[in-house]
Amino acid sequence: MSINFDKALGIHQQAMNFRAQRAEVLANNITNADTPNYKARDLDFSSMLAAEANKQNSGGIALNRTNGRHIEAEGLASADDSLKYRIPTQPSIDQNTVDAQVEESNYAQNALDFQASFTLLNNKFKGLVSALRGE
């Protein structure tokens, strides 16, 4: 009897991937805090996770094809669609929308959430290993 890791781990593997992607986006914002005309972006984690959960429940990805001869897209990561521009609370003179304190706070919260997801996945693997050993 084989173990299906997708079913055993659930959505948690994708959650960690999305958190890693969000860390990259937030780090990019922090890096460009002094770049004129740079627009801060953020990844909408909850909508990406909800879309992934719907995809897993439906068994496929939901994309509209404009032509019947188009190739089906499988395993498409729609990170660009989930990247949203951040609305600045205080506009700057150089049109940069990065607020360093907000970005650093979001980055720290994302790191904590990533660690929580990692701990949860680690516990799931420990449970699988103990089930395999018959403990």
pLDDT tens digits along 39-73:
999 988 888 888 877 776 665 445 565 666 665 55
Which residues have C-beta within 8 Å of that of residue 105, sequence separation ≥ 6?
none
Task: Quote the pLDDT of residue 2.
Answer: 65
* Mean pLDDT calculated for residue range 76-98: 77
Tokens standing for 103? 């970005």
Tokens standing for 110? 């994302």
Summary mean pLDDT of the chain: 81
The Cα–Cα gap between 16 and 5 comes to 15
CB 47 within 8 A of CB 18: no
Predicted confidence band of residue 114 (pLDDT cuts 50, 70, 90): very high
Tokens standing for 88? 């600045």
The Cα–Cα gap between 52 and 50 comes to 5
The Cα–Cα gap between 86 and 60 comes to 30
Beta bridge partners of 41: 85
Task: Quote the pLDDT of residue 6.
Answer: 64
Predicted confidence band of residue 89 (pLDDT cuts 50, 70, 90): confident
Task: Quote the pLDDT of residue 41.
Answer: 93
